[in-house]
Amino acid sequence: MQFGNLEIDFTGVAAGEVRRSARGVSGCRIDDLAAIRAKAKELQIESAGLDDAVLVNEVFEATVEHHLVAPTFVIDYPAAICPLTKRSKEDPRYAERFELFIAGTELANAYTELNDRPCSTKTSGISFAARKSPSPRWTWTS
């Protein structure tokens, strides 16, 4: 299918993990925070005061998203940026969440809802604190 100047192949759908796809394009492993911070600096992303998980997401958005032309489900988001999402049973650092990208655009976002009250309260605090820092992408009003 032609979409603008892009040819999109809908015959297959890819599944990519943030931690794998980010490395292929950004050159960083999701758990290599020194490399993530260096990449953020290279991309002129303000990282002072940002939580590591938020910065990982910022670098992913700046380096990977626009490369996701074919239908791609991105999974394994850092749990700290997904406060309402259950943690992965395989690795609780990641959330049971996916986003569908086509033509470099997010078209769907879904997750397994967290229903564990103590965990939810803790992760909401982490996520809010992470986003409290100045970022050109988020505006907080009271």
Binned at pLDDT 50, 70 and 90, residue 65 comes out as: confident
- Structural domains of the chain in order of their starting residue, each with its CATH number: 10-132 (3.30.930.10)
Torsion angles phi and psi, residue 8, rounded to 5: -110, 125
pLDDT the model gives residue 108: 92
At 66-112, the pLDDT tens digits run 888 888 888 878 888 888 899 989 888 888 988 888 899 999 999 99
Q: What is the mean pLDDT of residues 25-39?
A: 83
Lowest-confidence segment of 14-28, 32-46, 51-65, 121-135 by average pLDDT: 121-135
Binned at pLDDT 50, 70 and 90, residue 117 comes out as: low
Helix axes 52-63, 117-132, angle to 10 degrees: 70
pTM score over 0.85: no
Contact residues for 112 (Cβ-Cβ < 8 A; gap 6+): 85, 86, 96, 97
Exposed, middle or buried by CB within 10 Å (0-12, 13-18, 19+), for 137?
exposed
Bigger pLDDT: 136 or 41?
Answer: 41
Q: What is the mean pLDDT of residues 9-13?
A: 77
Give the strands of the sheet with 14-17, arranged side by side.
14-17, 72-78, 94-102, 105-111
**Residue carrying structure tokens 């033509």:** 103
Q: Are 39 and 63 in contact (CB under 8 A)?
A: yes
Query: Which of 107, 109, 108, 110 lies closest to 3, judged by CA?
Result: 107
Q: Are 8 and 69 in contact (CB under 8 A)?
A: yes
